[in-house]
Amino acid sequence: MDDILIFRLSPTNQEAIVEKTITVMLTPEGNLELPPEIRAQFSNGEQYSVVTTEDTIVFKKVPKFDWDEWEKRIDAAGEDPNQMTIEEICEIVREVRRENSQK
């Protein structure tokens, strides 16, 4: 099968996105044999989500968690006016433990 190039527009910023469809082989050991130009896009330790349908398998890179962005969002959210006290949290924990011990 020949390589297939697909051009489409990004739904968010209307930039052109080029998709390349290639053919890969499954080895007898059960590994996917990727061409070097595709393998170069992977890095050790990266995680990928795999979405499957009846005849499709899609790998999507899982974004790394950005602690700095998370802290900015927490700061921007401000104080929670309904934040529970330590005492309230402890009481809820005690209630749950009592309920679980009665089961």
pLDDT tens across 37-91, in order? 888 888 888 899 999 999 888 888 888 888 999 999 988 998 888 999 999 999 9
Is the Cα dihedral 88, 93, 98, 103 positive or negative? positive
Q: Are residues 57 and 81 in the same domain?
A: no
Is 43 found in the same domain as 10?
Answer: yes
Cα 102 to Cα 56: distance, rounded to the nearest angstrom: 49
Range of the domain at 41: 4-61
Whether the pLDDT of residue 98 is over 80: the answer is yes
Number of other residues whose CB lies within 10 A of the CB of residue 38: 13
Claim to verify: residue 54 and residue 82 sit in the same structural domain: no
pLDDT band at 13 (very low <50, low <70, confident <90, very high): low
Please give the pLDDT value at position 79: 87
